[in-house]
Structure 1
């Protein structure tokens, strides 16, 4: 039997709700800037239901975060006889825990539940992927980040610096590099191949229109160009080179983590898997569960 992993105290927060009731249910909650998902389980480990609500990123306000967390849990409990929030222990994996002010507001406004423990959404994903054992998670979707928990229960994070200056190898990064290539093609500095043609068709074939699109583009707009890089990689040398560069960026994230088993997440990481270095691929394992499973693990092991 595997030993119980003991998380470093700095990686999670035990909240102090007023209920004092004995827990009859566990709820694992995964929340971010778009939606909140909850999975409800009884003390025998049976999954009773799942629910969803709006965003619960802490930076959007503690009141909203708690409203959507509790709404998702209540939705998961639909049809569960006798369910009471006051008798439910919560494990919470939420985005925004790195900001001291929003974190303090959220912790201070914990409602009447049996118990509650909070960690980041990334660490919840690691716990879920590895069943509460040491391991890492390499995520590349719109952005990119790698997180791990080592054998001592300490958290390690690499990347995740945001699309403006970082998130190398993610979708917004790929889109930005493709857009820079289109700029060079329109200038005549490089040949206009299939990738540049596709980007110009999407963003503007004249200098003024391309410049306007580029200046207004945010993370989502840049990431919308990433599929073009994959689409044209077989016919366009620049597109192929960008995918290789993105894979090397993800290799760098992985190599900076402790040498633990590694799960992949996000559409970009999954599409780049075959381009990753042999050393990275040798560490890959299939995830055992998701961030809600990781939050449930936290509820079971950190709130009782």
Structure 2
């Protein structure tokens, strides 16, 4: 194997980092969302596109996939049947390791050392790596039944605010009007939008919640609930509150300053991101296999 590749795939985008056998990054690629909940075949299309983009960025011809080992941290891998289906569709890579995107984010954030993360972007999850090497996950049950405090969760509840305004159950405030601008302002239009919308579409409404917070109590209320949800996840993964905590993701970073003081006291800046964590994961696995061949 001549190339190591770390892939970070979520509900918004897919990033691929390309490295030589020494682990030094030589190229980066970007593609669309590859969360497994959006379909295994669709996820592979985006993963392959991101990897090809990384070779293009490195000014290298795309080689035979048999020369490549891939570590992929993907949203949805916690669903075992989705993970198995993704691995079974391996398009020819010599080595393919599929992990949760939260675990590769954890590896990247703490440089492989013990620590905890709460991640809130399109979805949300918490994960911890304890000093004894054990792991634990909280949240991350997926949209729409879980992922509290995430961008998709905020967007879903923003649409509910707009629906209540259309019904006359509440007055149409700034947040409802922002949703109307995207989804339409009558029952049929909003219903049609909801029938077609998925996790990614709802997450695109999250910025409207932050932007209307000062003028709309509904938006402020939603953000308060989002903060409480992330605090609950953080407490669940590290009840004793002894490990360093990194808050990751676009929504998480905006909400981090609002966390309770005890949590803020443990916050650390992530050392690196999930693509770096995925690359570290596959490098470690390949090195172990070469040291201890079957």
In structure 2, the residue matched to 1:248 is 228
The reply to whether residue 285 of structure 1 matches residue 263 of structure 2 is no
In structure 2, the residue matched to 1:168 is 148
Shift in alpha-carbon separation, 1:78–1:154, aligned structure 2, 3 A? farther
Q: CA deviation at 1:232?
A: 1.7
Distance 2:15 2:158 in 1: 34
Instruction: Report matched runs for 1:56-205 at 5 Å.
Output: 59-61=39-41, 67-68=48-49, 71=52, 74-75=55-56, 78-79=59-60, 89-104=69-84, 107=87, 116-205=96-185
Q: CA deviation at 1:73?
A: 6.0
Q: CA deviation at 1:43?
A: 4.9
Instruction: Report matched runs for 1:209-248 at 5 Å.
Output: 209-248=189-228
Say if 2:71 and 2:98, in contact at 8 Å, map to a contact too: yes
The reply to whether residue 297 of structure 1 matches residue 280 of structure 2 is yes
TM-score (norm 2): 0.77
Distance 2:44 2:216 in 1: 50
Deviation by residue 1:89-140 (Cα, 9 ceiling, x = unmatched): 5433334433444544554576776655442222111101110111222222
In structure 1, the residue matched to 2:237 is 257
In structure 2, the residue matched to 1:27 is 5
Distance 2:171 2:132 in 1: 53
Shift in alpha-carbon separation, 1:122–1:152, aligned structure 2, 3 A? same
Structure 1, 155-164 or 202-211: larger mean CA deviation:
202-211
Distance 2:257 2:157 in 1: 21
Give the 3-state SS of the residue equivalent to 1:303 in structure 2.
helix
Structure 2 alignment gaps of length 5 or more: 288-294
Shift in alpha-carbon separation, 1:189–1:84, aligned structure 2, 3 A? closer
Q: CA deviation at 1:248?
A: 0.8
TM-score (norm 1): 0.75
Structure with greater proportional helix content: 2
RMSD: 3.5
In structure 1, the residue matched to 2:292 is none
Say if 1:137 and 1:147, in contact at 8 Å, map to a contact too: yes
Distance 1:180 1:157 in 2: 29
Structure 1 alignment gaps of length 5 or more: 1-22
Match of 1:275 among 254, 258, 264: 258
Distance 2:209 2:69 in 1: 45
Shift in alpha-carbon separation, 1:44–1:237, aligned structure 2, 3 A? same
Aligned residues: 281
Q: CA deviation at 1:36?
A: 4.3
Q: CA deviation at 1:287?
A: 0.8
Shift in alpha-carbon separation, 1:53–1:71, aligned structure 2, 3 A? farther
Say if 2:17 and 2:51, in contact at 8 Å, map to a contact too: no
Distance 1:79 1:234 in 2: 50
Q: CA deviation at 1:207?
A: 4.2
Structure 1, 218-227 or 48-57: larger mean CA deviation:
48-57
Q: CA deviation at 1:31?
A: 3.6
